[in-house]
Chains A and B, each alone.
Chain A
Amino acid sequence: MAPTTRFRAFTGLALAGTLAFSLVACSSGSDEPAASGDDGGELTTVGFVAVGPEGGWRTANEQNIQDAFSTENGFDLKYAPSSNGDQNSQITAFTSFIDEGVDAILLSATEATGWEDVLNRAQEAEIPVVLLDRGIEPNDESLYTSRIAPDNVGISASAAEWANEQFPDGANYVVLEGPPGLSVVNDRNKGWDEAVSDNLVKLESQSANWSTEEAKSVFETMLKANGNDIQLVFAQNDEMGLGAALAVEEAGLTPGTDVKIITIDGTQAALEALAAGRLSFVAEYNPLFGEDAIEVVNAALAGEDVESSIVVPSTTFDSPEAATAALPDRQY
């Protein structure tokens, strides 16, 4: 079993590598027009319809985008965070970017559905739209230029494979999801469900709204409902995983020994917890793809063809040692 996983992880990395290479190739091709833009001293105006403060991952991601699209790099980035994840506020920001006539729009949608109208309007105004992280549903690729995101399906599949490896004789597990309906949640469920082996029994799957506090409360009840007979938690983000760890400790059990917890995202807090043995597996969902976004925007403005889906390479951490090694360089 183990070799296959490693092999897949390797191919994943290799694929990501090729992709990165092709992007570089792409960007070298687009040097000309970008440079000519710089000559005129004109900044490229980019509107960023963002999610806003949500957690460590989001903060790192949006900071990275803002840092990348700097004046030095020839951009004027207009950052528009949503008001508490409200889709309406995002649509309003999006529409006003169209009305302002920005050169390109970056979109991290808080909700997957309901974007057709505004995306059509952007298309009519010939403004390229690049989706960052969050996708849209139905996923009509003609509506946007490209989507840059780590591969949620692949990441949670790698988490599932680690679980299969850990519990060859089977185990009971629960899933702590994000809010129902999000594309991330759907993708992370999909990757996990496809890859997890049959002798791992899913007892329950509940939303804890990405929140530590809710996850603690939800998992505390899950433990009671199942007489502590849960060996594995698949938490779809770090915060919920940390909440589950607190609930485990509260119940007098030891995380890592009695209950193994898997989280996705790979924030500093999660790696610290992994280093301390409170979490067992952290799959990184790489938030740092500002540079990739610049490439795509420039290519789109230059009228070149862009891949409709660009996968950001991510890694996994499966031991305290790996976490300890990665921590000093952790930016988020």
Chain B
Amino acid sequence: MSLTGDTTLHFSEEQAMLLDAARMLSRDYGGAQARPWLESDPGYDPALWAQMVALGWPGLSLAESVGGAGLGIGAAVPVFEALGRGLLGTPLLASLLAGELLQRAAVNVPVVQSVLRELASGAPASIAWLEAEDWGARDIACELSAEGVLSGSKQQVLDAAAAEWLVVVAQQAGEPVLALLPTDAVPASARREHQLVDLSRRAQRLCLDGLAVPPEHQLRGPAVRSALRDVRLLAALLLAAEATGSAAACLDTTVAYLRTRKQFGKLIGSYQALKHPCVSLLIAIDSSRSLIYHAASLVGPGELDREAEIACRMAKAQAGDSLLEAGDRAVQFHGAMGFTWECDAQRYLRRALWCQGMYGDTRHHRRRLAALLLDP
């Protein structure tokens, strides 16, 4: 096998339909329509989430046995690409990832099945995962004692305020364990809302000290270990899909400005100093798009293989960088307008800044890729 390896790329009828539906939703709720919600409590229009629930998207990747659509997580890639175009944020990302983690870790456990059923019908959920800034950290500090009591804290728990279920990633005697908690088990005094650079997102810092987890809500074993590893990669993929959509919309915004703004009696889009970077962005975004759909073709319900891991990591590295550059150039190319709150360029750039560090930054993924690709 060559270093470029697998170049599978499929796009199913279902994915095409999802892409169309998500694009429609993105047109109806995204862009300018999403702006008034940015400084509200939820951060998004509740009517949008209601629509997603009505469409069955929270159960998109969940098994049919728990009321999901059984389409697999690859089907979420077109959805997030389209939502990214509208700069939309809802609990969908957090919920699908939490569902995927539970489904992969312990699909046959009765408690998990009943929680997954709730998720499929629209109860938001989230994974409490990150403890410090380092996504690549080896150890989990948060501990579940032998008596089933949690200690430790988590940060950037996505959509924790909206979530009804939390999946806490903890350890017990050095072995990873998942603790399934109804979110209202975490008292208000133990939560602090983060201020995120991307205003379309919500996340909380949670102090978990002293929270008791009933034994049937504790999941452990080899499946948990591999589910954690796989969902880290899937999280990177879904965020890459969203970043790809945001980057494409960002480039459209910049191009539209360059086609109408005049200086020195000329449309500024005629200057090569502005044209050529736009072409570089187009190429970067085209690469991101190819990579996310390639990865979507490789992520099945089973344990992710080497090629799927390579694909997810490449997708995040490429898409994260594309969005950052698209946002950065959008601000610059809008001139003084780009420096204002009113101009949408800041929304793309702020989204890029949040996205780059989440689920592994570009250098993290490239470092892992080097080991995967270059070490015999």
A binds B: no
Interface, chain A (partner B; CB < 8 A): none
Interface, chain B (partner A; CB < 8 A): none
